[in-house]
A and B are shown apart, each in its own frame.
Chain A
């Protein structure tokens, strides 16, 4: 049996197809990932983009729509997935996916393009406590992206530059627009780019950390979402949270789609 999870993010669409496994002698191994696929929707309508991303994923997996028993959707645009049987919140999907990858995970931090959130999960991967920031983009990936553009760097270069700095420059602005003004001021005062990159990522990390502290940091901490690819941010977050290690999945942007597909599969029993 195949099920699909679609994460309609603000920046990209992630599709994960999973297959139910029956492995003799390993009853805990119930599901395996058949295919994961990401698509940047560009200027497509979200509902058209969802169809296109799903078709691309199916083609890559060598499957047809009728082969997939059920599709669940998550993410900011989950209501746009007309063919999804159910919509699942980002918190529930993220907690489930992170727990599947790291069964000992109890604190999940999800930082995507538009929003960051912190969750606490139980041993079954159920979200038992969560906090997000419904208003401010300054604790999310799009803020880091905007700031990297101001420094004329790619996001990868931005993260690497941050790791080369050992200075802590506080950014006082809480808003993306005002923070950009602060970055421009730092550029004009000839502050090295490495130090500015670290200041920006420290600021994002501190906003994310404030949300995570609302739910409490407990047990293994897993970081999911596209910002995991930014090594500088990961370092800043570890420092802000005061933890020695954070578990980082190989394909962090797919974890919510994976959780969604897992919930879809479990609901078929």
Chain B
């Protein structure tokens, strides 16, 4: 399943997509959980009893601000969450 967490508002579209099929058999040791400076990622058991990662609810409403520090303007050349997720399950829409 591709789960899109986030929102669209007047300033733009802010979604983080997680391909949970790649998450189930994570080969990166759930590195996303610690790679995110804001600790936005969390492991849950989804409705189909698979262990997957999602974005914590409160962060889903503030992605534009929470992720701002990791964007190029914050000095990063690549996003820590996407770099840590070697199976390539995480994508940002902006």
Contacts and interface: CB of A to CB of B under 8 A. Distances in A.
Interface of A: 88-89, 92, 126-136, 173-175, 207, 210-211, 214-215, 263
Closest 10 CB pairs of A and B: A174-B10, A131-B4, A135-B7, A92-B47, A134-B60, A129-B2, A135-B61, A133-B7, A134-B61, A134-B7
27 contacts: A88-B47, A127-B1, A128-B1, A129-B1, A129-B2, A129-B3, A130-B1, A130-B2, A130-B3, A131-B15, A132-B4, A133-B7, A134-B6, A134-B7, A134-B57, A134-B61, A135-B7, A135-B9, A135-B60, A136-B7, A136-B8, A173-B10, A175-B10, A210-B8, A211-B8, A214-B93, A215-B4
Interface of B: 1-10, 13, 15, 46-48, 57, 60-61, 93
Contacts of B93: 214
Main SS of the interface on chain A? mixed
Contact of A214 (B9, B15, B57): B15
A134 B47 CA distance: 19
Contacts of A263: 47
A175 B9 CA distance: 8
B15 to A, nearest CB: 7
Contacts of B15: 131, 214
A211 B8 CA distance: 8
A134 B61 CA distance: 6
Contacts of B13: 210
A240 to B, nearest CB: 14
Contacts of B3: 129-130
B7 A89 contact: no
Interface centre among A126, A127, A133, A134 (most CB of B within 10 A): A134
A194 B1 CA distance: 41
Contacts of A127: 1
Contacts of A211: 8
Nearest to B93: A214
Contacts of A129: 1-4
Nearest to A178: B10
A89 B47 contact: yes
Contacts of B61: 134-135
Interface centre among B8, B9, B46 (most CB of A within 10 A): B8
A233 B10 CA distance: 21
Contacts of A134: 5-7, 57, 60-61
Contacts of B60: 134-135
Contacts of A173: 10
Contact of B9 (A131, A136, A215): A136
A8 to B, nearest CB: 16
Contacts of A210: 8, 13
Contacts of A175: 9-10
B63 to A, nearest CB: 9
Given A131-B15, A136-B7, A136-B9, 19 more contacts: A88-B47, A89-B46, A126-B1, A127-B1, A129-B1, A130-B4, A131-B4, A132-B4, A133-B8, A134-B6, A135-B60, A173-B10, A174-B8, A174-B10, A207-B8, A210-B13, A214-B4, A214-B93, A215-B4
